[in-house]
Each structure stands twice: as C-alpha cells, then as structure tokens.
Structure 1
Amino acid sequence: MSALSRIPVLISSAGRRGALVRAFQQAAGGATVVHGCDMQPELSSGCVLADHAHQVPRCTAPDFIDRIEEIVRQNGIRLIVPTIDTELAAYAAAADRLADAGAFVHVSPPGVIATVRDKMQTMQVLGAEGVPVPPSCSESALRADPDRLGGWPVFGKPVGGSASRGLGVYRALSDLPDGYPEAMMFQPVLNGPEYTINMFIDRNGALRCVVPHLRIQTRAGEVEKGRTTRRDDLRELAEGIHRALPGARGVLCFQVMDDAQRGPQVIEINARFGGGYPLAHHAGARFADWLVEEVSGQESRAHDDWRDGVTMLRYDDAVFTG
C-alpha cells in the first residue's frame, strides 16, 4: 500500500505502550501510519516509537477534545485508540464530533463507559445478568453492618480506580482508616489464580474472539508474565458480559479470580486495550488488524482461532533520543 493510502491511526495517551504502537504499525500488513499523543511526547516511549507524535493537555482538561480534533483534521486521522480509563468518558461523549472530523473513536457508548468506570455498578449489572461476581458493598454499608460480607478479612478498592491504585486488605473493622479520599467498595478476599480475558466485539455487536490468559506475575497492576489458556468456562463469562453490556464495541478486557471456594469471579472490566494485549496479539488474536479492517471498510477477518499455551515474558527495554 502506498504512503498516500495508508490509514492514519492515533494512539491516545501513548505513554509506555510501545508494544501497542508496534501492533498498529504492523496492522493490515503495514497499511497504517501511527501517531501518538501524550502530555510530554518527548518523554513517552510510545510517542518516540510512533511515526509521528503530538502534545496534548491532560485528558480531563476542557480543551483536550479540541486539541484531539485539531490533530485529527491536520493529519487525516481515521482511527483513535484510547488507552487509559480516565480518557474514555471524554472520548465517548465526543465520538460523534470526532466522526464528523473524519475519525472513528475506538470506544463504547457513554452508558457502557459509565458502567465499567464505576466498579460497584459493574458488579450490579453483571450480577443481574447472572455473571458470577463477588458480594460487594460500599464503605458506609460495611461500617453499618461489619459482617455483611460474611466475615473478615475484606478487600477494599476505589470505585473508580485503576492501575492497582488504593487497593488494600483489612483484617478487622478497626483496620479501616477514618476516611478515604475517594469512594470505596469492599468485597471478600478471593484466593486463587487470576486471569485476564481479552474480548473483541465487532462493529455489528457480535462477540468474535475471547482470549483468556493466566496472570503468572504482575507489576504495577499489569501482567508481566502470562500464558494464553483456552477454557470454556472463561469464555462463558465473556458471553455473559456481552449480554450484560449489549452496547459494548471493540476491545474489552476483564479480570477474573478463580477462587478456590466460589469458582471464577469477575472482579472488573476495562473497556479498552489492556496492558496484556500484546500476548493475545502474538497468539493470533490480532485485534489491531481487525479494527483497521473495520475503519477501512474491509470485511472483518476476526476469528477465535488463537494459539493456546503461548507465554509472554516481559522485560525492560529502552528508547533513546538525541
């Protein structure tokens, strides 16, 4: 494909997501030109690896979407790929505006984003669909009835948290601090192996691919060592999430604890590419390619024929400039 006909893709908040940048650079046989944006693109390895880089304000700033639209119009961006939870709502609200500017935003509708960004609401919506989730309650409910989760210890996390921020295990009610800087939720402590399940829903709403991987080792909430694992019960959980969130589109990933007593329990959903996506990509579930195909009007080649037992062992690398 000639340089003039290559599809411009913008990886938003590119940060350290070098593997995702490379996946889109290789998508559809190299039929893309990849742009990255970040608050400090010169200090972002993802932006340095991208073909072009752009500076943007913080995603919560009032002029964030204005700047993104400017990048879209100036560079003919056809596909925008958000990568962090805090920017999803802004992109979902601006999806029609950015489409008018020429770019399809890889984001689910605002209602889906609102659900998955609120972990308590996520548990309620999934539970109503019969998806197995752990019992959950608010801080005030736990203080009012300390035994409502069946005893102690309990696990606490921010309702709107991400990247393992604010997690804690509490052995007794007296261990809880007097207050928290943000809304918290609490669940029983689960014990067992943890899995991430990557799923791809096409533009027509069909669930096309489900790739579980065992989280062998993590660092800062992101899988560092993992292995693809084909399990029918984990696929069934993805199907349940698909039913519970009928508006969801594109790439989602969710976390599961395979508790020794309760069995597999869904503990959270991210409506974006997860940090472990490169493992699914290498195993043959090339979500990046399938998004590019959709944007370019090609027939989707999405499939569920990925390789079981593929292991990813991440290591630290460096990008140099100057």
Structure 2
Amino acid sequence: MTTRVLVTGVGGPAGVAVLRSLLRRDDLEVFAADMDGWASGLYLVDADHRRIVPPGRREDFVDAIIAIVASDGIGLVVSTVDVELVPLSARREELGAPLAAPSQAALTTCLDKWQLAQACAPHARVPRTALLDEAGIALDWVFPVIVKPRSGAGSRGVHLVEDRAALQAERLDDGWIIQEHLPGDEFSVDTLMGRDGTAIAAVPRLRARVDSGVAIAGRTVHRDELERTAEACAAASGLVGVCNVQLRYDSHGVPALLEINPRFPGSMPLTVAAGVDMPSLAVDLALDRPVPDRVDFVEIANVRYLEDVFVPVDQVLDGVEAQR
C-alpha cells in the first residue's frame, strides 16, 4: 500500500535531502511543497506533485497544509523548516495526517537556548550560561565569552565578547544569553530518537567547511563521547525523531552542548551516505512502522557542489504566480 507524503521547505538543502531519500522508496508517493516557485526541490517531482504554500510565518500557512492534506489524500506531513515546526505542531490534531515533527514541549525547549541549557545540564556537559542582564554580567566570567540570542538559527547574532568592558557595553535584553566560550573543535551529531526516549542512531560529523551556518564539507567520525552526549541531550529535551545536536569540545577535551536543531539538517546527505537513512527511518517512525533498535554508520567524507535542474519556463512562472 502506497502512502502519500508531503515534504515542505524543499527550497533548502534539508528539504532536498529528505526528498531524495524518500523518492527512492516504492511504497511512498512524494509531494513537494515550498513558498517559492523557484525552489529547486519542487522540480525533483513531476508537476502533479508540486505545491506552493504560504510562508511558514503567515497565519494561513497551517490552513493551507490542512487543505493539501485533504485534497491530495496525504498520509504524512514532513516539515524541514524551523519556522513551520511550531505552528504545525500546535495544530497537529487538525492536520488530518500524522506530522513527523517534535512535540510542542520539545520544540519550546530546543528553540530557547536558555531553557535548553537548563534541561540538559543535569545530563551532559553544558557551557556555563546566564541571561544577558545585570546579574548575568556581574558573574565571574573567564573571557572571552559568547553572546547569542536565546532563539534563532544559522549562528545569526552569535558573537565573541573579548573582555568585561565589552560585555558591560552589551545592550541588556532577556532575549539574549551569555555563555562560556569553548575553544575546541565543533561537531554536529545527527540523531534519531525513538518514542521510548532512546537513540536509534547518532552520527557525529566534523564541520570541515561552513557557509552561512550550513556545512559544505565534512566527514563522519566514530567518537563514543560525542554520540553519548548528543543522545543524552536529545533525550533530556524530550525529542522524538530527527534532530541535529551541535557540540564543541571544552579545554579539557570534554564535548559540551551548543544547541539542538529539532529538524533535518542541511548536511543530511552525508549521514545517509554513511549508512543511516534518517529521513526514511523518520517516516517509518512517524507512521508507527517497525524501525531497528540501532543503526550503525561508517566513516565517510563529502564535499558539496551546486547542481542545476532544468525545467520549462512556464512551469516555474506558474509556481511564482501561485504564491501571489
């Protein structure tokens, strides 16, 4: 029996990675959705399976998804965009199909770096963290420190503060936090959590080259301490399904939590190539189908390049017009 799956956010690398994984399966009929008619992932499927939706921040976004689910007989919704996750999860019961996304509670924890630090601190190494207020600034910090927004993605707003004078000059705002600066190498760990709170897979990746917060070259690595730390943090956050745990080594060689992205990462093709097809596993998990207790991976490296997709002009223009 074929299940129809709607993948949203197919203009980004995560959406394209999910599409390419799911399109290999004979038991899935895949629909691709994006707010932009120029989104490359739309053209990985035929015209009958392309959908234009409102931006995730718009009030009518979830209503549009509900309408597509009803009209196309969708059996599962897979979102790959941060801003879509919260509204979709909030109205999960109205969608008319299962949603492959974390619960509202887990999203709230992961998307607020202050709450995340508090949730994970009892279970793993977490950098010293304080709110950017008078009390936080007054703490005895070892400089430099990191100042970052409590919410946000792609390293936007994150900056290094060299000394106390510079920290005191920061604009006080409870939407920001101060964190201990970690000097070691940074790793991303693609993690798949089962419904019982245990990890099905945890694949550490060295981010060898990064552009705008997205790794464009890297390699998978076997390091038990990275896997254990990522699994502990994902479990403490209450996540089920795919997430990306970002870790950095401290001065003592201990991996510590930076943040958790509760979605598919843009570098997912590397994890799939390493032997863990997380998009496919996440679909089975969301549909309550059997999944392995544990999936191992191999060490492999990748570099990324642009790839052109050529389509008739009228098809792209139709997509652009549909969003107006």
The interval holding the TM-score normalised by the smaller chain is 0.7 to 0.9
- Matching residue of 1:239: 231
Task: Report how far residue 143 of structure 1 moved.
Answer: 6.4
* 2:113 aligned with 1:119: yes
Distance in 1, matches of 2:42 and 2:293, equals 28
One-letter identity of the residue aligned with 2:45:
A
- Matching residue of 1:317: 307
Q: What is the SS of the residue equivalent to 1:230?
A: coil
Q: How does 1:192-231 map to 2 (within 5 A)?
A: 192-231=184-223
* 2:249 aligned with 1:258: yes
One-letter identity of the residue aligned with 1:24:
L
* 2:109 aligned with 1:106: no
2:131 corresponds to which of 115, 133, 138: 138
Task: Report how far residue 23 of structure 1 moved.
Answer: 1.3
2:44 corresponds to which of 21, 25, 49: 49
1:248-275 alpha-carbon deviations (Å, 9 max, x no partner): 2111110000123362111100111111
Query: Is there any run of 5+ residues in structure 2 with no aligned partner, and where?
Result: 314-324
Q: What is the SS of the residue equivalent to 2:41?
A: helix
Distance in 2, matches of 1:114 and 1:276, equals 24
Task: Report how far residue 286 of structure 1 moved.
Answer: 0.9
Task: Report how far residue 190 of structure 1 moved.
Answer: 1.4
Task: Report how far residue 19 of structure 1 moved.
Answer: 2.5
- Matching residue of 2:18: 20
- Matching residue of 1:75: 72
Q: What is the SS of the residue equivalent to 1:213?
A: strand
Q: How does 1:150-229 map to 2 (within 5 A)?
A: 150-175=141-166, 179=171, 183-229=175-221
Distance in 2, matches of 1:207 and 1:68, equals 30
One-letter identity of the residue aligned with 1:48:
Y
Q: How does 1:253-292 map to 2 (within 5 A)?
A: 253-261=244-252, 263-292=254-283
CA RMSD, 1 decimal: 2.1
Distance in 2, matches of 1:34 and 1:205, equals 28
Distance in 1, matches of 2:34 and 2:86, equals 17
Distance in 2, matches of 1:108 and 1:296, equals 14
Q: What is the SS of the residue equivalent to 1:299?
A: coil
Residues 61, 301 of structure 1: alpha-carbon distance in 2 compared, 3 angstrom cutoff:
same
1:14-64 alpha-carbon deviations (Å, 9 max, x no partner): 2223232211211xx332222222221x21112222342212112122211
Q: How does 1:291-306 map to 2 (within 5 A)?
A: 291-295=282-286, 298-301=289-292, 303-306=294-297
Which is worse superposed, 276-285 or 172-181?
A: 172-181
Distance in 2, matches of 1:149 and 1:225, equals 38
Residues 302, 23 of structure 1: alpha-carbon distance in 2 compared, 3 angstrom cutoff:
farther
One-letter identity of the residue aligned with 2:42:
C
- When normalised by structure 2's length, the TM-score is 0.87
Task: Report how far residue 164 of structure 1 moved.
Answer: 1.5
Distance in 2, matches of 1:178 and 1:203, equals 42
Task: Report how far residue 234 of structure 1 moved.
Answer: 1.3
* 2:37 aligned with 1:38: no
Distance in 1, matches of 2:174 and 2:20, equals 36
Higher RCO (C-alpha under 8 Å, 6+ residues apart): 2
Q: How many residues align?
A: 307
One-letter identity of the residue aligned with 1:179:
R
Identity among equivalent positions (%) equals 29
Residues 152, 273 of structure 1: alpha-carbon distance in 2 compared, 3 angstrom cutoff:
same
Task: Report how far residue 206 of structure 1 moved.
Answer: 3.5
- When normalised by structure 1's length, the TM-score is 0.88
- Matching residue of 1:7: 3
